[in-house]
Structure 1
Amino acid sequence: MSRSTLLPARIPFRALMIPLALAALAACESEVAAPAEETFEEGVLTIDASSPVSFGYVSLTGGGALPSPADPGGSTAWDMAFRRFSVRLNGGVAGPGSVSAVSLGNNAGLTADQVAALTPEDGEAAFAAVTAADIPAGGFVEDALAPETGPSWFRFDRQSGSIMANPGAAWKLREGSGRGYGVIRMVEIAMQGERPVGATIQFRRHDPGGSLGAPESLALDLTRGPVFVSLSNGIVRDPAGCGWDVATSPEFTIQVNEACGAGTFPLDPTDDFTALARADDAPDYAGFLSTIAGAFPATVGDAQGAFWYSIRQNNRMWPTYNVYFVRVGAEVYKVQLFDYYNATGDSGHPSVRFQRLR
């Protein structure tokens, strides 16, 4: 074979450019005829929510975690907030935003054993299966006051093996019949075996038109049944009528005199009970001992919740892989919490995946 056969034939430059131009034109026409689909925000975050006091804040619209706002109650920069297993939305009584949510409840019908058997792959598949077509026409709710079912005002002390009061939990209180306002908390519980025989409530009264007074304490004898209390008049012997505001019983319950207008609003753990200036400024007062909750339940073990606790009696959180729709203004996101532990196994670090559907 001669060397000349190894060389390419000479092609005129103009002839070479014609097919290239046609290809470029065809590509342009293709782009016009079939535009690329819109790319919506999506992401995966692991949030440090390990503090029992402070929240970790997230902006879905911004696609990431945020520094803690100086005034979360007055800020619209955040969409969701996480503290341990609690989830808050910036709307309703929890914030000034317009964030609301609804649970798809895709795994709400599972038993505890079935939840324990779920795998991370099951969670990914459940999240991927949810599309914009699944967004309901209604049912979105902002965070509101719900009954405290924990309850948070006492805790089990492992060292002593007994029930103890939790002064870190406190409530603003609207007294019955318009008498005034106050803040209350339980500071001591006296136990006899497994039954409480006494309790001490600490409170500060806020007279109408005045300010919060100094802390006062009231010891309650629970040996003969429930004790009814008025912040302005102390222990009330006759529970009939509107003379009392709250009642404590040996069955570990706190009752609020809803019939006479008494109500509670939970203080945030970051609020200083002794330094609080007002009790009459809560966004709402519920006729029960209250907590803040919405589409994300305030407790673990709820069928609609993100986590179940200690299914295998091992004091661990188990993700349910339930999917939620979170509406931020006109945008709707699908959100799923899929883990409660970080890479080193520390609790209180929920992992969240989200994607904007609309």
Structure 2
Amino acid sequence: MRVSKLLAVFSAFVLSVNIVDAEITTVIDATAGGARATEPHDHTYFSFADNDVVPITDVEAKASLDWHIAFKRYNVVLNGGVSGPGNVRGYNIHADYEESLENEVFSDVTLLDMPEDESFALDSSAEALDQWYSYDFVTHVISASGNAYELRTADGQYAKWVVDTIEGYGRADAGTIGFRWVVGEDLSVESQSASVDVSEGREVYFNLRTGQEVSPDDPQNSLDWDLYFSGYSIKLNGGASGSGEAAALSAYESGMSFEDIVAPVGAGYRSDQVSSVFSNWYNYNMTTHTLSTKNHTYLVNTDQQTYKMQLLDYYKSVDGSPVSGWITFRWRPLEDNSTVVTSTSWSTVKITFGSP
């Protein structure tokens, strides 16, 4: 017999409880304004150590060690690498399984499944402009791929862009990168061209609208730049890399060259994203347009403690209809097999007592 007892109601708080054989359901709102939100919304930050939501903004989180994991819609990030100043790392126990598993696999994960420390991964950058150069594995020559992209600038204008030349490259950087672009609704007009020097560790911010290199005081919150060049990395001012609307569409994947692009498609653009061990935690149904969990078990190493967790659901029932962005997950310290913790992204705290 199982008995549920509502202990308390909080607004984005988590009750820290350690009860043997108890299930704790917590509330974290990961809806971020809804599926069609146009205004920017913060992640919801959570601390395993405190079993509590950390009430900070995205800007504050960039300098905070108080949180371990954060949720925004279906995105899950850890406090480490490109996502935060910490050293929180993740590992997917069931990474070899593309299909969904039974959720009982969570109980099977023990200390014996702990991988080597180097197997844990920090969050890294997944850039939308990731095919602008080519590497020949036989000759070891690096050259411009000529792959053309449609772009959206930081302020939402349309553009097209291509890298034409790479000169003076080395092991750590691409040397001088030459590129062409057009900004506007009519992409058939004569293009502009420029080159940037990223040798010797140089970092360059570039504004496609003015055709100039810029030096923003606060790049993360500035709309003065569209492209950021460093080493072999080109980032867009949007998504995980900036506060703007910049994004890219890989026109070359449709067989289009730079010259073939004469008008913007206007849809399907991809911003820079964070690559996390949680990036593929769900399946997407193309017919129903719904997400379902794969039930994989993840390990999260905070340096002080390793936790195992499993994402269980993405929806909450409101008036009989599912609402997206309410992530349910369960977790517990890997060293402690006596307590199971379940966290759910809505605004109540509930403990379920009972025997199996």
Residues 30-179 of structure 1 mapped to structure 2, 5 A cutoff: 43-51=24-32, 53-69=41-57, 71-105=60-94, 108-110=97-99, 115=100, 122-123=102-103, 125-137=104-116, 138-148=118-128
1:20 paired residue number: none
State the one-letter code of the partner of 1:264. K
Mark the runs of 5 or more structure 2 residues left unpaired by the alignment: 1-18, 34-40, 131-149, 162-181, 196-205, 214-226, 246-269, 336-356
For the structure 1 residues 41 and 135, does the alpha-carbon distance in structure 2 shift closer, same or farther, using more than 3 Å as the test? Answer: farther
What is the aligned-residue RMSD (CA, Å)? 4.3
Residue in 2 that maps onto 1:194: none
Give the Cα separation in 2 of the matches to 1:93 and 1:259. 15
1:78 Cα deviation from its structure 2 partner: 0.8
Q: What's the counterpart of residue 283 of structure 2? A: 308
What secondary structure, in the 3-state scheme, does the structure 2 residue paired with 1:187 have? Answer: coil
Matched with 1:159 is none
By how many angstroms is 1:144 displaced?
1.3
- 2:22 and 2:305 map into 1 onto residues whose CA distance is 10
Structure 1 contact 54–270 (Cα < 8 Å) conserved:
no
**Displacement of 1:222:** 4.0
**Cα drift, residue 59 of structure 1:** 0.6
Equivalent AA in structure 2 for residue 87 of structure 1: V
1:231-246 to 2 correspondence within 5 Å? 231=206
Q: Is 1:264 aligned to residue 246 of structure 2?
A: no
Aligned pairs (5 A) from 1:327-346: 327-344=301-318, 345-346=322-323
Question: Quick check: 2:80–2:87 contact (8 Å CA) kept in 1?
Answer: yes
Q: Which amino acid aligns with 1:85?
A: Y
Q: What CA distance in whole angstroms lies between the structure 1 residues aligned with 2:312 and 2:332?
A: 14
Correspondence for 2:154 among 185, 203, 207: 185
1: CA distance, partners of 2:51 / 2:151: 36
Contact 1:45 1:353 in 2 (8 A): no
SS of equivalent to 2:295: coil
1:346 aligns to what SS in structure 2? strand
Which one has more relative contact order, counting CA pairs under 8 Å at least 6 apart?
A: 2
Match of 2:16 in 1: none
Q: Tell me if structure 1 keeps the 8 A contact 2:238–2:271.
A: no
Q: Confirm or deny: 8 A CA contact 2:32 2:43 kept in the other structure.
A: yes
Looking at structure 1, the residues matched to 51 and 75 of structure 2 have their Cα atoms a distance apart, in angstroms, of: 20
Aligned-partner Cα distance in 2 for 1:81–1:54:
10
Q: Residues 310-347 of structure 1: CA distance to partner in whole angstroms, max 9, x if unpaired?
A: 25x10111111011100011311111111001132210
Distance 1:336 1:187, change over 3 A: same
Structure 1 counterpart of 2:184, which letter? Answer: A
Q: Residue 273 and residue 131 in structure 1: after superposition, are their counterparts in 2 closer, same or farther (change >3 A)?
A: same
Match of 2:328 among 336, 344, 351: 351
Match of 2:277 among 292, 295, 300: 295
Q: In the comparison of the two structures, how many residue pairs are matched? A: 219
TM-score normalised by length of structure 1: 0.50
Would you say the 8 A contact 2:240–2:272 is kept in 1? no
DSSP 3-state at the match of 1:71: helix
Indicate if the aligned counterparts of 2:305 and 2:333 stay in contact, CA closer than 8 A: yes
CA contact (8 A) 1:40 1:357 kept: no
The structure richer in helix per residue is: 1
CA deviations 1:183-210 (Å, max 9, x no partner) are: x526245xxxxxxxx669xxxxxxxxxx
Percentage of identical aligned residues: 22
